[in-house]
Structures are given as structure tokens and as C-alpha cells.
Structure 1
């Protein structure tokens, strides 16, 4: 089962641009973290002053983390996977993003998003900030996402499902209409 909004996913060029930007802000690998902490420990052992390193900007992932960032209005852009199973895990996310005024988009593959955060797969990711030289790229993406998702919500919602009833619902409605017609003809 796909996410209801999967009918309106990012185009391939927009998704490529999005993932190119997110790859720049991948979380640090275990080996890099270990090396950084070893350098810091060696400096501390040498008697130098322990200066904590400034936290780098990186992509945050996971439903709970992203939800918290959206509620605090710290998220700049939220990407949601369309192939999450069960879909109820992320079903509330577009409504929350709209309510809090955070741009969101739906991306085709959770494993593609997982590569960004060094995991097998992840259901949603968020960008909180970028460096100054990437702000123009982020602003272009935000503008594209806002026009395709946040601003067009009512249009997308009204067209979803096509308005075609299933066989059971259609037969029930025709049965009710026939009963009303019989009732009207009896009263005349």
C-alpha cells in the first residue's frame, strides 16, 4: 500500500537536486566520529584545554525526531517516504507540516532516503539548516515544494481517489434511491 499522497511525488529532477543537497549534510560516520573523539581525547591527555567541537549541520531522520522538529518549527524541509509499511506511521505527517507551516514533500523510496542518513531505510528526514553557500539551492527547493504540496493541498485532496464508488457502495446507494422512489409513489 502506498501513501495517499504518492500520486503527487517529486519529479525525478527535483528529487535528484534534493538528494544532492542532502548528501552534503549526511550525519558523520562511525569511523569519523571515533577519529574525532580520539583526537579530542589525545588533546586532553596532552594537557591542552578541552574545547568541544561545534555541532555540524546534518540531516535528521526518524518519525519521532522529525515530528519533534516540526512541532518546534525548527525543520526547514521534511521529506516523507511513500513506501512506508504500515502507512499509519507517517500518515499524520503532511497534516502536521501544513498546520505548523513547514514545507514537506513525498519521495519515492525509503531506502534512497536511508542512504542519506547511513541506514538501510528511514521513513522521513528533515533539514534544519544549511550553510550559506547552499541557501540558494535550499530556497529553490523550498519554493518548488511549497507550490507543489503546501499550496495545492485542497486541489490534491479533492482529486484523490477519483470520486468512483466501489460496487458495494454503488449498489447500496441505488437500493436507497429505489426505496425512496417507492415511498414517494406510495404517498401520491
Structure 2
């Protein structure tokens, strides 16, 4: 009798989770795509939560381009002297043969902060390793923003007064791009 109650409870919880997921899919499907970055983040978070619940950690698997970059669930924390600020971000590992060990941090709401804040994110980079924090992108070129050393708990920490897309890399990308342009200019 007790086993029957446990089975019914598990089935009810699974049914509620599946219903919530389907409801969120229907809701997201009806949302207008203009200015929907945050709405897409909600959809991707729900999708990843369901996939991890089902034991599938391969990502959405819709097509080869969507699996080229793997989204990570590391928490991005923005802190000031007063405490944690209510901003969230997504960390994406870039699959680039030229620049291995490269990650992109994208904030759900780019913003100018009233004071300097500390951005902290736990990464799959060894403690004590030097990383380069960059702005820009691969097409227009990267600009070095800061150099940081990975702290205890594999935490990368840097200060900023602007929340924008940052690239964190173990490769000195600006120096590599400069060397590549020098080699191309010589030939």
C-alpha cells in the first residue's frame, strides 16, 4: 500500500513537470520575437532543465550549429560593496580550433553600472592559470580588457562598470591576431 502511494506521487510530480514544460513551450511559441533575448533565455533554461532531468546533457540537439557552442550553467555573479546585483549571464564555451579554452559571457541585460562592480564566474579553467578578458568578437577583432589569474574554486574575477559581452580565454587572442595579420602582410 505504501509503495503504491510513492509510485502515484512520483507520477504526479513527473506529470506536473512535463505539463509545466509544455506550457512554457506554448507560451514562448506565442511571444513576438522582437526584443526577446530574455524570453529566449527563459526558453533555453527550461529546455536545459528538462534535458538534465531526463539525463540528457548533450544540449538541444536541433542541428549541428546549435551544438557547435555548448552552453554552460556556471553562475555569473555581479557584486558591488553593497552586495550582489540582480544581473544574470550565460557562459558559452566557444568551439574554435584557433583559440582553444575560450568562453563568452553574455549578460541578459547589458547595462552601465553606477559604480564599479566585480564580475565572478566559476570556469573549467585550472586555479592559478592566467586568462585574458576581452571585448569585441572574432570578426571585428578582440581588444584586451584585463588579464586575471584564476582564483580558488576556479573563479575568474574582474572589475568593470559596464555589463557587456566579454570573452574569457586562456589564449592571448589579440597577440595571436596581430601575429596572424603580420604573417599575412608579409606574404
TM-score (norm 1): 0.22
Q: Which has the higher contact order (CA 8 A, sep 6+)?
A: 1
TM-score (norm 2): 0.22
Name the structure where helix makes up a greater proportion of residues.
Answer: 1
Q: Which has the larger radius of gyration?
A: 1
